[in-house]
Amino acid sequence: MFDDFVTLGRSGLRVSRYALGTFNFGGAQPWSLDATAAGRLIAQYRDLGGNFLDCANSYGGGEAETILGDYLAGEPGLRDRLVIATKFGSNVRDGDPNAGGGGRKSILQSVEASLRKLRTDRVDLLWMHILDPLTPMDETMRALDDLVRAGKVLHVGLSNIPAWKVAEAHWLAQWRNLVPVIGLQLQYSLMERNIEVEHVPLARAYGMGIAAWSPLKSGALSGRYRRGDASNHNAEGRGSFLARILDEKAERVLDVVLQVAERHGASPAQIALAWLQAQPWVATILLGANDADQLVENAAASRITLSAEDLAALDAAGPPALTYPADFARRATGSISGGTRINGIAPPTGGGSPSQSRR
């Protein structure tokens, strides 16, 4: 089910369309998995054909990398068959201002610690986890380039970074012959589509693959939680997340998901995942299952093909809000095309500027 691979961005790195996220490995949260449970989840993911494991220096309070490293060490030869990703940026050492962010010192320290915990000599993909507004992007990109040249990191990507900073990183890499950004890890689901405004066009223009995290919006797209019934919202510590998510728009989206799920004889989660895999700009989808059974259920989404009618209904349920200047830019084709189709694209309804008059 997971043995369908894509090259990530403009690179030769082959990754599964579905990655296994390790956010819930270790730690002491209601959703945390111990090493034994995490090991079963990894084994099931491998049995399904997957090769892409995504981690971070901060997951599980720092335990996730150790759990993953111990698992890899227990099976000699497995490391080379898998794509291992981790992240830097989150400060995991209280009182030390240089233990987080995108500065050279922080990055080098974080990667060295990750390599020790993962028990490997290189990271296949290193993500910048969060924006550091205090450090010039030039310093961050040069440090990442040094790590690639040293063989400790093979590829780099950006996660949760504003589009304008992604563009800055891309052009710094282009102009100065630094390691390119091959991917963007971004929150994306039927209930969170704001990346379609800036990040998706940017990624398509610059050849970056998008890895979608929280594809089920903290479980809200599973169909188990509704706005009018909060009796189970605190299951697995989700209450605070669901309180923010389940607004009127989310309920409209979920209504359509349930309708499509009934037509396909599938679960709401499978339909939400099938919609994501139908988006041409999504390279890989990060799954965060609680157990092997849930992972198998989610994996079945890889076999679902949504019809044009299904996709149109889901798209219409919760489009992103186009604030200025995004909406102005959308209508620009109507101002420049003279009402004609160009490259197969017709001007949008209501396109053009009110200041323009037609003869």
SS3 for the chain, per residue? CCCCEEECCCCCCEEECEEEECCCECCCCCCCECHHHHHHHHHHHHHCCCCEEECCCCHHHHHHHHHHHHHHHCCCCCHHHCEEEEEECCCCCCCCCCCCCCCHHHHHHHHHHHHHHHCCCCEEEEEECCCCCCCCHHHHHHHHHHHHHCCCEEEEEEECCCHHHHHHHHHHHHHHCCCCEEEEEEECECCECHHHCCHHHHHHHHCCEEEEECCCCCCHHHCCCECCECCCCCHHHCHHHHHHHCCHHHHHHHHHHHHHHHHHCCCHHHHHHHHHHCCCCEEEEEECCCCHHHHHHHHHHHHCCCCHHHHHHHHHHCCCCCCCCHHHHHCHHHHHCCCCCECCECCCCCCCCCCCCCC
Residue 314 shares a structural domain with residue 346: no
pLDDT number for residue 216: 95
Q: Give yes or no for residue 353 having a pLDDT over 60.
A: no
Structure-model confidence comparison of residues 341 and 274, the more confident one: 274
| pLDDT recorded at residue 337 | 82
Q: Which of 6-20, 24-38, 170-184 has the lowest mean pLDDT?
A: 24-38
Residues 33, 170: one domain? yes
Higher pLDDT, 220 or 358: 220
Query: 31 with 100, same domain?
Result: yes
**What local confidence, expressed as pLDDT, does residue 26 receive?**
96
Q: Report the pLDDT averaged over residues 266-287.
A: 98
Note the pLDDT of residue 281.
97
* Whole-number Å distance between alpha carbons of 256 and 128: 35
258 and 232 in a common domain? yes
Q: Which two tokens stand for residue 65?
A: 């990398």
Confidence of residue 117 (pLDDT cuts 50, 70, 90): very high
* pTM for the full predicted model: 0.92
Does pLDDT of 343 surpass 60? Answer: yes
In this structure, are 90 and 15 located in the same domain? yes
Both 328 and 285 in a single domain?
Answer: no
Number of domains in the chain: 2
Q: Is pLDDT at 20 greater than 60 in this prediction? A: yes
- Nearest by Cα to 34 from 297, 217, 291, 299: 291
The CATH number for 157's domain is 3.20.20.100
Statement: residue 64 has pLDDT above 90: yes
Residues 14 and 92 both lie in one domain: yes
pLDDT value, residue 228:
60
225 is catalytic: no
Domain identity same for 326 and 242 = no
Is the pLDDT at 326 greater than 90? The verdict is: no
If asked whether residues 95 and 116 sit together in one domain, one would say yes
Residues 332 and 248 in one domain: no
> Which one from 45, 59, 71, 225 is the annotated catalytic residue?
59
Pairing of strands 5-7, 52-54: unpaired
341 and 268 housed in the same domain: no
In the predicted structure, residue 294 carries a pLDDT above the cut 70: yes
Q: Say if residue 286 is in the same domain as residue 329.
A: no
Q: What is the pLDDT of residue 352?
A: 58
Q: Do residues 281 and 155 lie in contact, with contact meaning Cβ atoms separated by under 8 Å?
A: no
Q: Residue 159 sits in which domain range?
A: 5-320
